[in-house]
Amino acid sequence: MATLKKTIIRGGLETLYFSGLHHWMRPLVGGVGSILTLHHVRPPRPDAFQPNRLLEVTPVFLECLLRQLKRSRLDVISLDEMHHRFINGEFKRRFVCITFDDGYKDLMRWAYPLLRKYQVPFAAYIATSFPDRLGELWWLALEAVIAQNTRVGMLIDGEQKFFECRTVGEKRELYNAIYGYLRSLKTEDELRKVMRDLCATYSVDIASFCRELCMDWQEITDLAADPLVTIGAHTVNHKMLMKVPDDTAVRAEMEMSRAVLEAALGTRPNHLSYPVGDPTSAGPREFRIAAELGFKTAVTTRPGVLFKAHRDHLTALPRISVNGEFQRQRYLKVLMSGAATAMWNGFRRVNAA
């Protein structure tokens, strides 16, 4: 199903690209700018089973993107500058903001040298439990459990079930099924409990992903010292906030991560990214709390470009995901024109519900 959807989306993009429709639509939906989302930037790995590959791009691709942005008539600006333009209604030139979620070491190793080379401002949103080495990157732990075993047993709705996963095809299918099941659980606490049990059964150290992949405090401090860099908050525990029933706990996740970053770096983050950030993870309650806490902007992963009207919804901003599935440059051009995302949004300009 997921593959089919990707094929359809990709087919749609091909059609838009070749028909030139996006040029025609630009004045209508191109908006005033866009925010790009990236996660990992690293050389491709040969493994056949990489269910999380959609969260990464290669350094070569990133360099092409940066070169293209530099050549374009778009301003590549910081989140503070974007906020300034919204507040003052300065929309003469279209802009792009570049953002990285989670704070992986590969940002420092592969992306940062390129971002410096092209002198491009960017933001890194940090979930503070990651440098504290307490984070649970459960989507990677699930990948490891399935990669390392040929049969996986787990308790589903109180019943012990077993699944064969010998071939790459079976592993992909099982990953999608368990991932879907986890995302369907009502609370993030339930999800974490299932994953902790699964990791305990199959001897996967859930904390290891955080240690191996995420920047430590020294690296974040070094990065934050560069004027090109904006450090933003990404909560403490990287929970899907809509799956946290208690309002106070949601507020604490946002507020604490900002306080911890401020204590570590000496500067108070003004910008927030909601973990996962899709409509099942961040909604009106989260947008309201972020605004009440005084964040200048907060970003989702809802696909879309920005319009003047987002001035009134600065804590519910859409972004455009730059990921492994769509890393060919011509797709990105279509995405940034707003044509594709407008289609996904059903032509609603602002979707903050």
- Per CB under 5 A, residues contacting Zn ion are 101-102, 275
Q: CB of 275: closest distance to Zn ion in angstroms? A: 5
DSSP state of 325: G
Instruction: Name the nearest CA neighbour of 286 among 316, 255, 317, 256.
Output: 316
For 340, the token pair is: 């594709």
CA angle 173, 205, 102 (to 5 degrees): 75
Task: CB nearer to Zn ion: give 281 or 337.
Answer: 281
DSSP state of 309: G
Task: CB nearer to Zn ion: give 55 or 152.
Answer: 55
Q: CB of 76: closest distance to Zn ion in angstroms? A: 22
Task: CB nearer to Zn ion: give 68 or 323.
Answer: 323
Q: CB of 272: closest distance to Zn ion in angstroms? A: 11
3-state helix, strand, coil in the chain (%, to 5): 50, 15, 35
Task: CB nearer to Zn ion: give 99 or 337.
Answer: 99
Q: CB of 284: closest distance to Zn ion in angstroms? A: 20
Half-sphere exposure of 234 (CA within 13 A, CB side): 25
Task: CB nearer to Zn ion: give 242 or 342.
Answer: 242
DSSP state of 351: -
Instruction: Name the nearest CA neighbour of 237 among 86, 106, 131.
Output: 131
CA-based Rg of the chain, rounded to a whole angstrom? 20
Q: CB of 202: closest distance to Zn ion in angstroms? A: 24
What gap in Å lies between CA 14 and CA 127, rounded to an integer?
Answer: 36
Task: CB nearer to Zn ion: give 79 or 174.
Answer: 79
Residue facing Zn ion at closest CB distance: 101
Q: CB of 90: closest distance to Zn ion in angstroms? A: 30
